[in-house]
Structure 1
Amino acid sequence: MSQQLEPISLESMQEFQKCYRQNWPKYCPEFYCLDNFIGFLKKDPQIKNLKAYTLSDQRAKDEALFVIVDRYQLFVGCLNNSLGLVEAALTLLDWTTGLKCSSIPARHIAALESVVEEKELQLLYKDLTNLHYMPAEEARQLCVEAPPGFYLDTLRESDAELVNEEWPNHHEGSLYFVQRQIKLCPSVGLYAADSMQLVAWCIRLQGGYLGALQVRSSHQRRGFGSLVTKEIARRIGCLGQDVMALVNPQNTPSRVMFDKLGFKVIDQCHWLRTRPLNGEFTWPEGE
């Protein structure tokens, strides 16, 4: 019988997640990716355009294989790469609208590249990032204090438009993404006390990583990026969760910042964006 993709239930995702506790922190990217999507589905069982799959092969379930397609983003996890399960699952996916292969652990990149080559998919970009990691017990001990005239707080959904506009990676559909992340994941903003103006921020991405770290141009070079990073790391640590961030090795300022904060590089993750096969795909408004 040929292999097929089959949906993963919320209960199965929770069972899969337990498998990734072994050899910690080797599989922390898979663990926290599943943790976020499990949380999303618990809060909003009808969340739009989110699909999670495994293979019908029992070996895939034994190896906790998952493929998650969140709108246009692809996430992958598997304990054992020697069985060809990741490549088999990716081969069965629909690639026609193009996919942003997000934070793919280095151990899975050969399988992904094989599928890209086999299907003759064109890449819009391909990037390598270092995985910076801090255990929860270290993160919750970070000492954070806002400077005079400013205060730290959780981002509000009303902040989403500004965060999206200032984000260098903003694109069609990214406002919905930012709104959803603020609503469902930890976030931190630094606000001016007199005007309540948001001047710096960081949110947790759906893959479990810190992201969208930004300081408004009017307030740069004052250490505010490091400040909000420390605070969101502290808050995540206080939840009993380890903290992860992905940084391009050529991004010296960010790399140095995470080093100074005490993060350690423990792995690498890849990002690939494939071109749509039938012309540009347009997302419905609000999705």
Structure 2
Amino acid sequence: MPLELEPVNLQQLQSLQTLYIQQWPKYCAEFYCLDNFIRFFKNDPQIRNIRAYTLSAQQAKDAALFVILDRYQLFVGCLDNAEELLQQALGLLDWSTGLKCSSIPARHIEALDCVVRAKQLRLEYRDICNMYYMPQNEASELKVDIPDGFCVKSLSEEDAELVNEEWPNHHVGSLYFVQRQIRLCVNVGLYATDTQELVAWCIRLQGGFLGALQVRSTHKRRGFGSLVAKEMARRIAALGQDVMALVNPENQASNGMFDKLGFKVIDQCVWLRTEPVAGEFTWPDGQ
């Protein structure tokens, strides 16, 4: 009987997540990816355009195999004994509109590459990033010194337009993404006390990683990037969770910052974007 993609509900996602605790922190990327989507479904049961699947085979469920489509983004995971099943699951997806394969752990890259080759998909980019990691107990002890004239607090959805505008990776539809992440995930902003101007910020990506870490050009070279990174790490640690970040190996400044903060590289992940097969397709803002 041919295998099929099988929808996964909230309770099933929670069951899959428990299997990724083994050999910690080997599967922490999959664990925290599922954790964030579980939070999304709990906080907003009517959330749109997120679909979670596993394969119909019991072996796939035992291996915690999941495929999550979040609008145009793809997240995947499985234990080491199920890479062939993961490749089959990826092959069953509809790739016609193009997909952004996001923070895919290195152990799954070959399965992804095989599907790209088999379907003769064209790539916009394929980037390997270092996966930085800090345990919760270390992150909770980071010291954050806020300079006079500034304060830290959570971002508001009103900040989303500026965050999106300044984000080097912004695109059509990304404003909704930024708004949603601010609404549903831990985040931090550094503000000028007198004017309440937002000068630096960091949000958490769906995969659980620190993301959109940005300092406005008017306030660079003052250590504000390190400040918001430490504050984000502390806030994630306060949830009882370890902290992860992805950095391009060629980004010497960011690699140096995370090294200095005490993060360790424990793995690599890939970001891969496939081109639409039949004409351009974009997600409009608000969806």
Equivalent residue runs for 1:3-14 within 5 Å: 3-14=3-14
Paired residue for 1:153?
Answer: 153
> Which secondary structure state, in structure 2, belongs to the residue aligned with residue 143 of structure 1?
coil
TM-score (norm 2): 0.99
Please name the residue that 2:88 is paired with: 88
- Counterpart of 2:129? 129
For 1:106, the equivalent position in structure 2 comes to: 106
Identity among equivalent pairs (%): 70
Distance 1:62 1:86, change over 3 A: same
**Equivalent-residue separation in structure 2 for 1:285 and 1:217 (angstroms):** 26
Q: 2:43 matched to which residue of 1? A: 43
Q: Which runs of 4+ in 1 moved over 3 A?
A: none
CA drift of 1:211 comes to 0.4
Q: Describe the superposition over 1:233-261 as per-residue Cα deviations: whole angstroms up to 9, x where unpaired.
A: 01111111000000000000000000000
Q: Which position in structure 1 is the counterpart of 2:208? A: 208
Segments of 5+ residues of structure 2 without an aligned counterpart are none
Aligned to 1:60: 60
Cα distance in 1 between the residues matched to 2:84 and 2:283: 32
Q: What is the aligned partner in structure 2 of residue 118 from structure 1? A: 118
SS for the counterpart of 1:265 is strand
Quote the residue 1:217 is aligned against.
217
Q: 1:81·1:108 contact (CA, 8 Å) conserved in 2?
A: no
Equivalent residues of 2:190, 2:198 under 8 A apart: yes
- What's the CA shift for 1:285? 4.0
Q: Secondary structure at the match of 2:146?
A: coil
1:39–1:136: structure 2 CA closer, same or farther, 3 Å change rule? same
Answering whether residue 192 of structure 2 is matched by residue 189 of structure 1, we say no
Q: CA deviation at 1:48?
A: 1.1
User: What CA distance in whole angstroms lies between the structure 1 residues aligned with 2:66 and 2:11?
Assistant: 13
User: What TM-score, normalized by structure 1, do the two folds share?
Assistant: 0.99
Deviations 1:20-68 (A, max 9, x none): 0000000000000000000000011111110000000110001010000
Code of the residue aligned with 2:7 in structure 1: it is: P
| Residue identity matched to 2:32 | Y
Q: Does the CA contact (< 8 Å) of 1:81 and 1:107 recur in 2? A: no
1:193-272 → structure 2 map (5 Å cutoff):
193-272=193-272
Cα deviation, residue 284, structure 1: 3.8
Task: Confirm or deny: 8 A CA contact 1:126 1:272 kept in the other structure.
Answer: yes
Q: How far off is 1:83 after superposition?
A: 5.5
8 Å contact kept, 2:60–2:82: no
Q: Say which SS state the counterpart of residue 189 (structure 1) adopts.
A: strand
Give the distance between the partners of 1:119 and 1:92, measured in 2 at CA.
11
CA contact (8 A) 2:65 2:82 kept: no
Q: Is the 8 A contact 2:68 2:74 kept in 1?
A: yes
3-state SS of paired residue (1:84):
helix
